[in-house]
Amino acid sequence: MEGQGSAKKFKKDNDAETIIATGDIHQGLEDLGKFTCSQVLKDDPTKKMLALRADVKGSVNPAVVIFEKTAFSEGSAKEILSSATALKKTFHNDIYGNYTGFPKPELNGLKVTVIHPATDKHIDKYTAQESILVNETPKLYSEVLLEHLKESSMNIQWVYNILEHRSEAGRIVCEDTAPETGFVLLPDLKWDGRTLETLYLVAIVRRRDLRSLRDLRAEHLPLLRNIWTKGTEAIKEKYGVPAWQLRVYFHYQPSYYHLHVHFTSVRFDAPGTHVGKAHLLPSVISNIELLPDYYQRATLSYFVRCGDPLAARFARAGVGAREADAPPPADGVQKSDSLPEER
């Protein structure tokens, strides 16, 4: 539903009546016949993920289509190891044999994410690019990041659709409706909702005045503790996964500036769990307990993709520019390749 209200200019086309009538490509979408690949955005052999930009029959707007190989489960092991799995030999040498296997289609499904209409930001997000490291001081936050957000941030209609039960209502795992400390917990778009090894849920806070980690201070501790306690309890109850097997964290920078918390399995190397992106919820609570305005005073380091307009803004502020081009560090502005100063 993201982009609701912005899915606009649709061509007349008899084969694409649904899109033309509703503006929503997901209505009755049962195969990918309407899509034609216009660009391979990313082909990641490690994550076994392929992201494509696609033209869509009946629409002038492009789509981003992401294919991911799904994880194996213990349950499927027996079914794969059977005569239903055809083999094609690549080679064998002594005791070693190499084959391509073709299990039943039901055991070989792909996770497919379709984003339509896709904006330039979506296309950038899924395009392979180099990144720069930014050590964001409070000064850079107010002078660069906040200015950037005024002009450019991802549409968060999908968040309001969830909070108002217009989308994904049946997927909600836990909901607390308290205005200040409430949140909705549900499976993340990135999760198939079944495979516990790749468990991924997201808790979206009800209040709409918190954009990111940077806004958090002592008065929000009850909200953060509530998300931790009720979120981990709900996951234990529904999926049998205890808190000590969960990685619970914020992204900084997030893609969507409405405060939310990621819950993933520690067995899963989820995208965005690396240093320079993930901030564990218990550590965030502890930092604020120690220093109520920690996140207004801290330098927060993260990576920005080179093609992102934010990288250009930081470059204009002397951050992330090449060594030879960079101006001398001004107060509070650190070069991207330096470590944060000790406070």
Task: Give the residue numbers marked as catalytic.
Answer: 260
Two structure tokens written together for 198? 């790749």
User: Helix 281-290 crosses helix 221-239 at what angle (to 10 degrees)?
Assistant: 160
Residue span binding ligand M7G (CB under 6 A) among the ranges 63-71, 77-85, 86-94, 184-192: 184-192
Q: Is 205 in the site for ligand M7G (CB under 6 A)?
A: no
Name the residue nearer to ligand M7G (CB basis): 69 or 92. 69
Q: Which amino acid is at 311?
A: A
Binding mask 222-251 for ligand M7G (x = CB under 6 A): -----------------------------x
Of the residues 23, 117, 231, 254, which one makes contact with ligand M7G according to CB under 6 A: 254
Instruction: Give residue for tokens 């795992």.
Output: 173
Q: Which of 71, 66, 53, 52 is nearest to 109 (CA)?
A: 71
Q: Where are the beta strands (DSSP E) in the chain?
A: 35-44, 49-56, 63-69, 86-93, 96-102, 110-115, 131-136, 174-176, 183-187, 200-205, 246-251, 260-265, 278-280, 300-305
Sheet holding 260-265, edge to edge: 174-176, 183-187, 200-205, 260-265, 246-251, 278-280
Going from the C-alpha of 72 to that of each of 76, 80, 84, 109, 231, the distances in angstroms are 7, 10, 17, 10, 26
Find the part of the chain contacting ligand M7G (CB under 6 A) among 6-14, 144-152, 181-189, 310-318.
181-189
Beta bridge partners of 134: 302
Q: Which of 158, 295 has the CB closer to ligand M7G?
A: 158
Q: With contacts defined by CB under 6 A, name the span among 135-143, 214-222, 254-262, 302-310 that binds ligand M7G.
A: 254-262
Tell me the closest approach of the beta carbon of residue 253 to ligand M7G, in angstroms.
Answer: 8
Which of 133, 168, 225, 309 forms a contact with ligand M7G (CB under 6 A)?
168
Q: State which residue, 190 or 214, has the beta carbon closest to ligand M7G.
A: 190
Q: List all residues 6 or more positions away from 130 whose beta carbon is below 8 Å from its beta carbon.
A: 305, 306
User: Is residue 2 within the footprint of ligand M7G (CB under 6 A)?
Assistant: yes
Task: Please tell me the distance from the alpha carbon of residue 317 to that of residue 38, in angstroms, as a whole number.
Answer: 35
Q: Which is nearer to ligand M7G, 52 or 186 (CB)?
A: 186
C-beta of 37: minimal distance to ligand M7G in Å? Answer: 22
The number of residues in the chain equals 343
Q: Which of 27, 255, 283, 338 binds ligand M7G (CB under 6 A)?
A: 255
Of 140-148, 219-227, 253-261, 285-293, which segment contacts ligand M7G by CB under 6 A?
253-261
Give the residue, chosen from 186, 284, 315, 333, that forms a contact with ligand M7G under the rule CB under 6 A.
Answer: 186
**How far apart, in Å, do the first and last CA atoms of the chain sit?**
44
In the complex with ligand M7G, the residue whose CB is nearer, 230 or 318, is 230
Number of residues that bind ligand M7G (CB under 6 A): 15
SS3 label, residue 175: strand
Structure-derived torsion over alpha carbons of residues 25, 26, 32, 37, reported in degrees to the nearest 10:
50
Which positions from 129 through 158 interact with ligand M7G, judged by CB under 6 A? 158
Footprint of ligand M7G (CB under 6 A): 2, 158, 168, 186, 188-190, 202, 251, 254-256, 260, 262, 272
